[in-house]
Amino acid sequence: MLSYIIEGNNKIEGTVKASGSKNAALPIIATAILNPEPVTFYNIPDIEDTRITLQILKILGCKVKVDSGKISISSQNMHNKTIPKELMHKLRSTVVLAGAILGRFKEATFSYPGGCNIGKRPIDLHLKAFKDLGVEIEEREDYIHCKSKKEMIGAKIKLDFPSVGATENIILASVYCKGVTHILNAAKEPEIQDLAKCLNRMGAKIYGAGTSRITICGVRKLKSSDYRIMTDRIETGTLLCAAAITNGNIKIENANPENLMNVLFKLKEMGCDISITKNTIALKSPRILKSVDIETSPYPGFPTDMQPIIGAVLTKAEGTSIIKENIFENRFKYALDLIKMGANIVLKEEENIIKITGKTDLKGETVSSRDLRGGAALVLAGLSAVGTTKVENAEYILRGYENLEDKLKVLGANIKLEKVDINAKES
Ligand code: UD1
């Protein structure tokens, strides 16, 4: 088991570079399955989630070469159409590999995906969309088998909710479809625009990504290509919040402020001084932060992935803040740990709301990550707390943040990753 040990109450100050986007990297790696020609991707973050995805690609028969952020993949000799259950359970986003395998081979076998335990997270919208494309689906207790007996034909697909994963899966599954596919009520997240850009560079014909109506005109083949993936907007937001919660001052390079506007507006409303250029964001925390209300919603609304992070910062804001989570039904577990650290938080579980009253001086405690972003929120709380904070189950955090420990150290944090040998503890 891995834990972050943090000696808190240090200001986060300095300049740091944002990494490549986790949520863009995963579907973009899936494009290498769709495209039998060799592809190269740059700026892929070296995190557990990308490592697992690449491991799956190797098992499927792809050749993968990793060279610090540059990843070359050839799926020419890919033979296996089944995603291994154990790896699929580790990571929810592996579900987009299904759309890519299906698009290439008209057949895919996979199981229900795992990932962060932040809600029910069904895949009904993905499967319904595959059916709309003419795919037959056999759902068993431990696997799902998808097969199209004939050529897959483009269709008009209306999503009941603008699901990010389902939109990506439909794009991947329909690139080679005969005719035109329309996705109505598509997700508009920047990661979807990045996926479409990457595929279009390979020769796909995808229009409207970033709007709620995406059109995919089927093509017969894709060509060899390279692509540099976008910056991680959630990592950027997390680092900005690390400065905000510690009364610090940060500049993030290689950032994309355009993708983070809703978060920047909220931080500004809290009193932070923010300046942006095309690819940098600087934040100076005020002496006293102000409370704000937040409601999560699909892009361009306030991102659910930033909700726990900003929740930690709001413990330091004067007044009462209300956060309403509208995307996932189980995303407030971190609040219990913040309460343990001294935060004044009331949970209204039935309404998916928390009420945070500050400002509180957090104190170091042993707390536990229960999901990726909730874990990161606890690290931020630890940075601002008086005394030592131990954030257990750091594995969750390592899934999504590249070199978090090193980046925070450069910015003045006293943080280290500690490995606990469970067997040694027991004996
Ligand atoms: C992606 C992101 C995740 C982010 C989320 C919302 C990746 C790897 N993950 O997750 O970080 O928090 O978008 O911005 O990109 N739903 C259904 N049926 C489905 C699919 C989704 O009911 O078939 C529901 C989910 O339970 C959830 C909501 O739709 O309540 C949003 O899910 P979705 O947009 O699909 O999120 P993910 O793609 O899983």
The string of pLDDT tens digits covering residues 73-105 is 999 999 888 998 888 887 878 899 999 999 999
Task: Report the C-alpha gap between 316 and 295 in whole angstroms.
Answer: 19
The SS3 assignment for 223 reads coil
Percentage of residues of the chain with pLDDT beyond 70: 97
- Residue with CA closest to ligand 1 atom 13: 164
- Structure pTM? 0.96
Nearest CA to 266 among 321, 229, 214? 321
Residue 136 CB coordination number (10 Å) = 12
Joined tokens for residue 243: 């400065």
Ligand 1 atom nearest the C-alpha of 123 is: 23
Catalytic positions are 116
Q: Which domains does the chain have, with CATH numbers?
A: 2-19+231-426 (3.65.10.10), 22-228 (3.65.10.10)
pLDDT category at 217 given cuts 50, 70, 90 is very high
Cβ atoms of residues 321 and 355 within 8 Å: yes
Task: Report the C-alpha gap between 246 and 199 in whole angstroms.
Answer: 41
Residue length of the chain: 427
pLDDT in tens, 97-107: 999 999 999 99
Give the mean pLDDT of the chain. 94
Cβ 305 under 6 angstroms from ligand 1:
yes
Cβ 246 under 6 angstroms from ligand 1:
no
Handedness of CA 297, 103, 232, 203 (dihedral sign): negative
Joined tokens for residue 86: 């154990």
Q: Is the pLDDT of residue 427 over 70?
A: no
Query: Ligand 1 mean position to 126 CA, how many Å?
Result: 11
Joined tokens for residue 50: 């990308």
Query: Ligand 1 mean position to 162 CA, how many Å?
Result: 9
Nearest CA to 63 among 84, 82, 40, 95? 40
Cβ 179 under 6 angstroms from ligand 1:
no
Instruction: Please report the pLDDT score of residue 248 as a whole number.
Output: 98
